[in-house]
Amino acid sequence: MITLQSSDKDVFEIEQSILIQSGTIKNMVEDDFTFIPLPSVDTETLIKIIEYMKKHADKTDSKEKNIKEFDKDFMKKTLNELFALVFAANYLHISSLLELLYPSIADRIKDKITEAIRQIFSIRCDFTPEEERRIIMDNKWAHEGTEIEGTLD
């Protein structure tokens, strides 16, 4: 069993076989660490990461469909939660989770007009009106005919 400690100082005891899905943890285990502090992962995110790894530890064929369903539901999180997961998965080198996260986040940008993207990410438009007009005119076709779609996260 390996002990993980989140940035909030909460500890979790997990089986080694599950944790080796994380490249980072795997390396530390190979160096005989049994207590692994993770100062850049908070408790909430770590709980989710552990949940993911537990589900994916058992990759037999019969569970394949089950896992796909789980993944789909797992991605139904707020953008901030997804970013926190990207961040943690990147640090922990869990490539299968990253491969799941990237398209999910990209999906939140797809088919949205520029203004909607700004709203989602609370980005202030720093173009002058003239600049913005010119940018839109340069590729006018891309800015036409779309509505703000879906709910803002």
Partner 1 sequence: MCFGVETRVDFVLWLDSDVSLNILMCLNDPADVACDGAVSHLWLRFGFGTLILSRGLRVGCAMETHIDFVQWLKTDVSLDIMSRLNDPADVVRAGAVSRLWRQFVVTNRLSKQLCVGRFQQLSRILRITEPDLNAPEPKDVGSSNSNWEYLKREHEVYASLLQAIESSKSCQNDCIGYAVSASSTDYPDESIVNTLIPMDKYLNSPSYWSSKGHSDRNAPETLIYKLKADLCVITEVCMKPFEAYFQPGKPIYSAKSVRFRLGHRKSLREESDLLKMPQQQPADDKFMWTYTSEEFPMTQEKCLQRFKLPEPVVCVGGYLQILLLGRVQRQEMDDLFYICISHVRVVGLPLGSTFDVKVLEPSQEFVLNYNRDVFGCTLQSFSNRGHQDSNVAPTLSEELVVDAGIMEFFLQNHHPGFELMGWGDDDDDDEEMEEVGIL
Nearer to partner 1, 11 or 109 (CB): 109
| CB half-sphere exposure, 62, CA atoms < 13 A | 0
Over the range 97-118, which residues count as b (16 or more CB within 10 Å of their CB) and which as e?
beebbeebeeebeeebbeebee
Q: From the list 20, 28, 86, 148, which residue makes contact with partner 1 (rule: CB under 8 A)?
A: 86
Interface residues for partner 1 in 12-31 (CB under 8 A)? none
Compose the 104-143 pattern: x for residues touching partner 1 by CB under 8 A, - for all others. -xxx-xxxxxx--xx-xxxxxxxx----x--xx-xxxxxx
Interacting residues with partner 1 between 66 and 85 (CB under 8 A): 78-81, 83-84
Contact 107, 153 (CB under 8 A): no
Sites of contact with partner 1 (CB under 8 A): 7, 39-42, 44-45, 78-81, 83-84, 86-87, 90-91, 98, 102-103, 105-107, 109-114, 117-118, 120-127, 132, 135-136, 138-143, 146, 153
